[in-house]
Amino acid sequence: MSEQTGVWDVIVLGGGAAGLVAAFHARQAGASVLVVNKGLVGRSGATITSGGGVSVAGESLRAIGLDADASDTEERFLSDTISAGSWLNDQHLVQSMVSGIGTELSRLVDWGIKFTVNKRAPGHSSGRGVHISGVDMQRALTRIAVQAGSQLSRGFSIQPVAEKRQ
């Protein structure tokens, strides 16, 4: 385990896409950030091995200059997602995802991450699937988090702190 001591405003658990984007945003807000990960950030975890599938409403894709279904609104995307979740999903969280993903995808484009738009995404009423290589996404997000000033630590694990009572 790499030993690192200090005081940080934010400690992010996990160096995958979600953790690195959280670290970036925290740094943008002025926080000092440590990202702790079980392995080497950029070389371990689910993001690097994923297919990198992301869903984005057609109107959001068009807003950043991509060819997509103009009739595919965020409202339609929201409805599809809630229906696919059999109305069990947290609708406020789904709304946040649907309305925020376009901005995040635009940021990825600005950072030079390459992707393709699928004209037919499984489980969707429109071709709102975007494919980003997990390796490419991980590399770019690691670079961006480090450039923003996040510190990275590997070899992190959580040990049980309580015993199971019989």
Average pLDDT of span 91-117? 88
Q: Cα angle at 117 between 112 and 122, to 5 degrees? A: 135
The residue written with tokens 């390459």 in the block is: 114
Of the pLDDT bands very low, low, confident and very high (cuts 50, 70, 90), residue 55 is: confident
The pLDDT value recorded for residue 113 is 85
Share of the chain above pLDDT 70, in %: 91
Instruction: Report the C-alpha gap between 78 and 1 in whole angstroms.
Output: 43
Instruction: Report the C-alpha gap between 100 and 80 in whole angstroms.
Output: 16
Show contacts of 17-21: CB within 8 Å, 24+ apart. Answer: 17/47, 17/137, 17/138, 17/141, 20/138, 20/141, 20/142, 20/144, 20/145, 20/150, 21/104, 21/141
Of the pLDDT bands very low, low, confident and very high (cuts 50, 70, 90), residue 1 is: very low
How do beta strands 10-13 and 33-36 pair?
A: parallel
The pLDDT value recorded for residue 89 is 93
The sign one gets for the Cα dihedral 67, 72, 78, 81 is negative
Report for 15-24, 48-57, 101-110: range of highest mean pLDDT: 15-24
